[in-house]
Amino acid sequence: EKGGYATFMEKEIHDQPHAVADTLLGRTDAEGRLVLDEMSISEEQLNAVDRITIVACGTAAYAGMVAKYAIEHWTRIPVEVALAHEFRYCDPIVNERTLVVSISQSGETMDTLMAVKHARELGAITVSVCNTHGSTIPRESDAVLYTHAGPEIAVASTKAFLAQITACYVLGLYLAQLRGGSYADDAQSVMKELGGVPAKIETLLGQMGRVKEIAKFMADTRSVLFLGRHVGYPIAMEGALKLKELAYIHAEGFAAGELKHGPIALIEPGQPVFVVVPSPMSEHGLHGKVVSNIQEIRARGARTLVIAEEGDEAVVPFADEVIRVPATSPLLAPLLTVVPLQVFALWLSTAKGLDVDQPRNLAKSVTVE
């Protein structure tokens, strides 16, 4: 049942090309237009939406943070991401023109369920992005958009995360298509490019040997930092979460632009820092800004582990290790850049002799508030 892999997590990491492909399957017609049969909310209601709030916890919330950048870019609808347990108790501003999108692999997370119920009481339209058929959160929502990642057994979420990002992108592009005009053009071209992502993940999975080696050498590491910017920022947070959960190592993710506002004080000789580099095609010169960050921390002795696109040579002079990912447009990059971070956490945990599938103190689904 582990498909020849030693752990469920390793298997699930390798399931990721399918998780993305299956989540895209059947959601476009012959002309490449999005069709969401399951979206049982009227177009009038969706067209009236003037604000989106994503509620989720943990890894699912990081998927939401990634989705915020994309949905706002494609639809120009303001998107807020709230941790479900905070949302419920913060007197949220929600009305019948608010689309509340919950993201949950299990569909049973009590914090997320309570947030959805609260949103409905306040009159919001609720959509559940969920991986588990027949679970509670979809039942308590107006509509559901299933992620088709297949059952996720390992406690730490991997393939569900990629499927959640994919499903949220489908939802965002669907809203863009409803808006029409140039928004709709975006929808078709991005769906097309998304279709090519599974093959890129497959390629990437085939070149993870060096990441496994790096992880093995780092079994004694006490702390690892992760930096990213734009969609790479939630990926940095996710990389840190995977390492905390699986290897019990102190880890923190930062927005790279925040470095100079404090965290750079943490850099001392030998400190390992993963940096998720934005695509050289990113707007506003973000790529060059992150390359400068790498240079700054390297000058202070950091050991820089740099995740950069194939062909991005600008990072090479400042990187102790360069981990390559296939080129994509900037908004799709998270579906690739997170993979080496998952693989790193898997093998570091294994190198420490820990139980990868069942980390201490954690349960797969958190059914208490």
Identify the residue among 59, 141, 147, 342 touching ligand F6R (CB under 6 A): 59
Torsion 202-206-209-210 (CA) sign: negative
**Catalytic annotation present for 364:** yes
- What is the Cα 299 distance to its own chain's centre? 30
Q: Does 136 bind ligand F6R (CB under 6 A)?
A: no
Instruction: For residues 154 and 12, give the distance between their C-alpha atoms in angstroms, rounded to a whole number.
Output: 8
* CA dist 263 → 99, 222, 258 (Å): 35, 17, 7
For the chain, the residue count is 369
Which two tokens mark 162?
Answer: 């990629």
Which contiguous run of DSSP H or E holds residue 174? Answer: helix 159-179
Instruction: For residues 176 and 184, give the distance between their C-alpha atoms in angstroms, rounded to a whole number.
Output: 6
Q: Which stretch binds ligand F6R (CB under 6 A): 32-40, 55-63, 199-207, 350-358?
A: 55-63
Q: Does 357 bind ligand F6R (CB under 6 A)?
A: no
Task: Specify the residue, 112 or 293, whose C-beta has the smaller distance to ligand F6R.
Answer: 112
Task: Specify the residue, 153 or 219, whose C-beta has the smaller distance to ligand F6R.
Answer: 153
Which residue do the tokens 């399918």 mark?
18
Identify the residue among 39, 52, 60, 275 touching ligand F6R (CB under 6 A): 60
Q: Does 365 bind ligand F6R (CB under 6 A)?
A: yes
CB atoms within 10 A of CB 186: 18
Identify the residue among 156, 273, 319, 343 touching ligand F6R (CB under 6 A): 156
In the complex, minimum distance from the CB of residue 195 to ligand F6R, in angstroms, rounded to a whole number:
25
Contacts (Cβ under 8 Å, ≥6 apart) of 151: none
Q: Does 366 bind ligand F6R (CB under 6 A)?
A: yes
Q: Does 58 bind ligand F6R (CB under 6 A)?
A: yes
Q: In the stretch 77-116, what mask flags binding to ligand F6R with x, by CB under 6 A?
A: ---------------------------xxx--x--x----
Instruction: For residues 360 and 369, give the distance between their C-alpha atoms in angstroms, rounded to a whole number.
Output: 19
In the complex, minimum distance from the CB of residue 56 to ligand F6R, in angstroms, rounded to a whole number:
7
Q: Does 184 bind ligand F6R (CB under 6 A)?
A: no
Nearest residue relative to ligand F6R (C-beta): 58
Q: Quote the DSSP letter at residue 353.
A: T
Q: Does 141 bind ligand F6R (CB under 6 A)?
A: no
- What is the Cα 315 distance to its own chain's centre? 23
With CB under 6 A, what is the number of residues at the site for ligand F6R?
15
The residues assigned a catalytic role are 364
For binding to ligand F6R (CB under 6 A), which residues are involved? Answer: 57-60, 104-106, 109, 112, 156-157, 241, 245, 365-366
